[in-house]
Amino acid sequence: MDEKVGIGIIGCGNISGAYLKAMASFPVLDIRGIADLNDDLATARAAEFNVTARDIAALFADPDIEVIVNLTVPKAHVTVALQALDAGKHTYSEKPLGINFAEGKRLAEAAKAKSLRIGAAPDTFLGGSHQTARELIDQGVIGQPVGGTATFMCPGHERWHPNPDFYYEVGGGPMLDMGPYYITDLVNLFGPVSQVAGFAITPRTERTITSEPRNGQRIPVQVPTHVAGVMAFANGAVVQIGMSFDVAGHRHVPLEVYGTEGTLIVPDPNNFGGEVELLRKGGAFEVQETTQPYADGNYRSIGVADLAHAIRSNRPHRANGSLALHVLEVMEAFQTASDTGRTITITTATERPDALSSSLIDGRLAR
């Protein structure tokens, strides 16, 4: 069988450019076509990246395509992923896996029934800085994990995204939009979450777009835009999380991780690189050498490349459906906790994906 894995991309909007650019650095990926509901968008992206624009149906029907990469908006993720499974394809979706836990479970069950793989973004936890942080924790430098903080707070994406509506529709909001980066990275560092508590509020029911070309248009808000919560991890650590589209500015770092012997500052989990800082008890923060590759650029699609290698070598892939479903359940649990005034027990079990270094040859992703 060919070493390369045939890829079809559905969804040619904002993020597709980052994928198409990064995919060129992973020889295992053979892009056989890209498609969008909007044909003009697909045609323009195809010309930009020297790939072929095709009909959505043609991608599903192509026997040389093994994986459908789903870069559509959140509310279409599960629909498109189920269509891909029905067509006999593995599928990898942008985050979140689905807009609620129930549809995520449906997707996971469908994949299991068909013995096909599902994967999902984010794959930034495979970045060199996050893998370095994990290596430090695994070496025991912070001692016994105790807790941490995870913070993403901004004034809202209507400042820059040309079509920000989906961020405020069901399936959007800061938790489902940005939570996947933070919670996935924390699972990479600490393992699975066991319980969730939290509050979710909607300070404004309407927002005004200030980006072009729709500057001045008002859009409705269907979801909470400020979430404050706590996650208890199965390893015993307790982490505070704040996700907001309602904060004008703040001074928190994205991720801090505490242990009995030290504190780690983990860089922005929306990026692959950044400085990892370690404070050993009694000392001061020191920048750590990044010991892992993929810290020096935007490798968005490395999760797809890892999936492709995993298919060929018959091993588990890292940005996998079990991890994404667990993260989706955790994210939804903040809302349930807020609605019910209770602490929510997480039902899905997942394992930390293997450290990336176990699949690296000459420092790069291989079998």
Ligand X SMILES: NC(=O)c1ccc[n+]([C@@H]2O[C@H](COP(=O)([O-])OP(=O)(O)OC[C@H]3O[C@@H](n4cnc5c(N)ncnc54)[C@H](O)[C@@H]3O)[C@@H](O)[C@H]2O)c1
Q: What is the largest CA-CA distance in the chain?
A: 62
Q: Judged by CB, which is closer to ligand X: 11, or 148?
A: 11
d(CA 249, CA 210): 17
Minimum CB–partner distance for residue 77 and ligand X (Å): 7
DSSP 8-state assignment for residue 359: G
d(CA 72, CA 120): 12
Q: Judged by CB, which is closer to ligand X: 171, or 262?
A: 171
Minimum CB–partner distance for residue 58 and ligand X (Å): 13
Question: Which residue number places its CB atom closest to ligand X?
Answer: 13
Q: Judged by CB, which is closer to ligand X: 90, or 95?
A: 95
Q: Judged by CB, which is closer to ligand X: 38, or 144?
A: 38
Contact residues for ligand X, defined by CB under 6 A: 10-15, 36-38, 41, 56, 71-74, 76, 80, 94-95, 163, 177
d(CA 233, CA 254): 18
d(CA 293, CA 216): 43
Minimum CB–partner distance for residue 57 and ligand X (Å): 11
Minimum CB–partner distance for residue 41 and ligand X (Å): 5
Question: Number of helices and strands (H, E) in the chain?
Answer: 9, 18
Q: Judged by CB, which is closer to ligand X: 94, or 306?
A: 94
Assess contact for 211 and 159: CB atoms under 8 A. Answer: yes
Minimum CB–partner distance for residue 230 and ligand X (Å): 24
SS3 351: coil
Q: Judged by CB, which is closer to ligand X: 69, or 344?
A: 69
Locate tokens 């589209």: which residue? 245
Q: Judged by CB, which is closer to ligand X: 81, or 241?
A: 81
Q: Judged by CB, which is closer to ligand X: 10, or 264?
A: 10
The full DSSP string for 124-177 is GGGSHHHHHHHHHHHTTTT-SEEEEEEEEE-S-GGGT-SSGGGGGSTT-HHHHH
Assess contact for 272 and 299: CB atoms under 8 A. Answer: yes
Closest CA to 150 of 125, 119, 170, 127: 125
Minimum CB–partner distance for residue 365 and ligand X (Å): 20
Cα 281 to the center of its chain, rounded Å? 32
Minimum CB–partner distance for residue 313 and ligand X (Å): 27
Minimum CB–partner distance for residue 91 and ligand X (Å): 13
Distances (CA, A) of 10 to 51, 76, 119, 275: 13, 11, 15, 34
